[in-house]
Amino acid sequence: MLCGRAKDAEDYANKGLTIITEDLVVTEALRQNLGHALLLQGRRNEAMEMYHSAPNAVLAEDFSLMRLALPDKKQMIDSVEAELFDFPK
């Protein structure tokens, strides 16, 4: 996903969600990754749906890594993080 293959990441996360339904930890990780893939494709509203059940600490770490790997997406990531965590914009 961080190497420009967000569509592939979306496909794999969706496939994983159809296979793994009983392990809540794995399901949540797949939903977060799906959210990241959607966000990087410009599908913010769909991404936000995936993020609402994720722990803030996990998302904050993911967003930090995404900012480092994808500096051109920093503003978008900051905006999503601010909305999710109710930070001042």
Domains of the chain: which residue ranges?
6-85
Looking at residue 38, what is its pLDDT? 96
| pTM reported for the whole predicted model | 0.85
Q: What pLDDT does 1 receive?
A: 58
C-alpha separations of 44 from 10, 18, 21, 78 in Å:
13, 22, 24, 12
Q: What is the pLDDT of residues 12-52, one digit of tens each?
A: 999 999 997 788 888 899 999 999 999 999 999 999 999 98
